[in-house]
Amino acid sequence: MTAPELRGARMQAVQTSAVDPIPRAGRAALGDKASEAGARCLPAAAQSLCGRVTRPLCRLNAAARKSSTQPSPRGDGAIPEVPVMTTTYHPQFTVPSTRPIPAELLLTESDRLRLPDWWAVEMLAEHRVLTTAQLTALGFATTTASATRRLALLARRGWIDRLVNTGAAATADTWWCLGPIGAQLTPLPEDRDVTPAQVYRARDRLRESRDLPGLLEANDFFVDLATRALTEPGSDLRMWWSPRTCRYVTGTRHVAWHGEYIHERNRHAFWYQPDPGQIRPTDLADRVHTYRRLAEHTGLATLLFHATDPQREQELRRHLEGRNTRHLTVVTSNPEHGHPAGPVWQPIGETHHLALTDLPYTPEHWPPDTVTSKEVRPRAPHPIYDPERPYEESIAEGGYHYPPRP
C-alpha cells in the first residue's frame, strides 16, 4: 500500500471513529507468524484501516473449525474451538517466553486498542523511551492522570513496559518503552521472531546504555518543539525522525535525528545532533564531516548542535570553527538559552542568534525519493496526535491549525 493510500485510509478511520486493529508493521508480523487459521483472518484485519474489525476471534475460531479434521474427545464429531486467552497477565509476560506471542492473542489485544493507543505504541517503537508527561503533551490524553491510567493498562496487557529510571538521569516521571506485544507488531524489516524474552533483554540494555542520556535529550528537544507548535497558529512539528528511520537516508553506521518545523507554510528541515556528554567536544565537532557528506547527498544542509551547558557549547564552538563547514549552516545552542524554537541558535563564526524559523527552509517535502537507500517503511508517526487534523500535511498546506488546548 502506498503512502497516499495509507494516509487516506487513516483519514477515513479517524472520521468514522474506527480503530485500526493492526498497524502496517503489525500486519506484516502477523502474516509471517500466524497459524493457518489465524492467517485466514488477516485479509479482514488488513481492511480494517477503514473500519473496526468486529470480534476477530470469532472469525479465527470459525476458520479453525473449517480447517481442523480431528474429532473432539467426546467422539461426537464436533470440532474443538481455538481457546480464547483472556488473562490480564498472560504467562508470556510474567515468565519471559522464548517463543513469539501466539497470533490469536495478538488479534484479541489488537481489537481492544484505540487510535491514540496505536499512536503511542508507534511513537515508542520510533523513539524508544518517552515519559507520561511527554505523551500527554503530544496529545495522547487530555490530562496526565488519564494518560497514566491508560498507559498502565497498556503495560498490563503487554503493549508497553515501564523502564525503571535510575542513575543520574532519573526523574519522578514514569518512563515507558515497548512491551512484548508492541515490539512484535512494530518490527523492523530485519526483525524475525520477536519474543518476550528478547524484548525484556532489550529493555534492560536500554536502561544501562551509555546512549540513554543523549536519547533523552533528543526526545526532550523535539517534545519542546511540538508543544510550541501547538500554541502557535500555522505551526507544526511535521517530522521527528529518530535514528531508526534516519538510517534509510544516512545509513546504519551514523546515528542522526531529523526534524521539520512548519511555520506559516514554510518548511524548516534540519539535522539534530545532541550532546551525549561522555565524549570530548573535539570528537563531537568531528561529526560535522559526516553531515557535510549528507548535505551533498540529500540537499539538507542545516545542522543543529545542542550542547548540554554553556561551557560545553563554547568548547564545541571553538572546535567547530576549526572544521570545514562549507555548504553547511551550523548553529549551536544549549538549554540555558531558552526554548529551542526561539532566538537561541548562534551560527558558527557569528555573534548574533537566530530563531529556528529564521534558519534556511526547504521549499519541498523532504526527503525526495531519490535520496533514500530504500523505501522508508514503516515511517515515523506524526509526532502530534490530533484526531481532528484532516491529514498530515494539512497544516503545512494552510488548511488547518491546532485548536487551543487547556
Give the tens place of pLDDT for each residue, 281-339.
Answer: 999 999 999 999 889 888 899 999 999 999 999 999 999 999 999 889 999 999 999 99
Q: Quick one: pLDDT at residue 119? A: 97
Question: Does any domain span residue 26?
Answer: yes
CA geometry: angle at 13 spanning 133 and 375, to 5°? 80
Q: Pick the closest to residue 162 from 212, 124, 198 (CA basis).
A: 124
Helix (H) / strand (E) element for 266: namely strand 266-274
Domain that holds residue 132: 113-209
Residues 194 and 273 occupy one common structural domain? no
Q: Looking at 51-179, list the stretches that DSSP marks H as alpha helix, in order from N- to C-terminal side.
A: 56-67, 91-94, 103-110, 115-127, 132-137, 144-157
Q: Per-residue pLDDT averaged across 179-204, rounded?
A: 89
Residue ending a domain, among 184, 209, 234, is 209
Residues 130 and 205 occupy one common structural domain? yes
118-133: pLDDT as tens digits? 999 999 999 999 999 9
373-388: pLDDT as tens digits? 556 665 789 999 999 9
Cα separation, 88 vs 396, whole angstroms: 42
pLDDT-based confidence at residue 276 (cuts at 50, 70, 90):
confident
Q: Quick one: pLDDT at residue 101? A: 87
Pick the range with the lowest mean pLDDT from 3-7, 158-162, 287-291, 340-344: 3-7
Residues 201 and 225 occupy one common structural domain? no
Residue ending a domain, among 180, 209, 238, is 209
Question: Does any domain span residue 238?
Answer: yes
370 Cβ contact partners less than 8 Å away, ≥ 6 residues apart: none
Task: Specify the residue for cell string 484526531.
Answer: 387
Cβ atoms 239, 258 nearer than 8 A: yes
Residues 174 and 301 occupy one common structural domain? no
Letter string b/e over residues 238-255, b meaning 16 or more CB atoms within 10 A of that residue's CB: bbbbbbebbbbbbeeeeb
pTM for this one?
0.78
Helix (H) / strand (E) element for 332: namely strand 329-333
Grid cell for residue 21: 486493529
Grid cell for residue 100: 513469539
Residues 39 and 52 occupy one common structural domain? yes
pLDDT-based confidence at residue 371 (cuts at 50, 70, 90):
low
Residues 127 and 251 occupy one common structural domain? no
Question: Does any domain span residue 383?
Answer: no
Strands 302-306 and 266-274: parallel
Neighbours of 125 (CB within 10 A): 25
Residues 190 and 309 occupy one common structural domain? no
Cβ atoms 154, 110 nearer than 8 A: no
Q: Quick one: pLDDT at residue 249? A: 85
On average, the pLDDT of the chain sits at 79
pLDDT-based confidence at residue 94 (cuts at 50, 70, 90):
low
Residues 276 and 297 occupy one common structural domain? yes
Residues 221 and 365 occupy one common structural domain? yes
Strands 329-333 and 130-131: unpaired
User: How many structural domains are present in the chain?
Assistant: 3
Question: Does any domain span residue 73?
Answer: no
Question: Does any domain span residue 37?
Answer: yes
Question: Does any domain span residue 230?
Answer: yes
pLDDT-based confidence at residue 165 (cuts at 50, 70, 90):
confident
Residues 138 and 218 occupy one common structural domain? no
pLDDT-based confidence at residue 368 (cuts at 50, 70, 90):
low
Residues 238 and 298 occupy one common structural domain? yes
Residues 233 and 367 occupy one common structural domain? yes
Q: Quick one: pLDDT at residue 123? A: 97
Q: What percent of the chain has pLDDT over 70?
A: 71
Question: Does any domain span residue 86?
Answer: no
Residue ending a domain, among 188, 209, 230, is 209
How much of the chain is helix, strand and coil, in % rounded to 5? Answer: 45, 10, 45
Grid cell for residue 208: 544501562
Selected residue with higher pLDDT from 372 and 338: 338
CATH number (domain holding residue 137): 1.10.10.10
* AA identity, residue 52: R
Question: Does any domain span residue 84?
Answer: no
Does the pLDDT of residue 175 top 50, yes or no?
yes
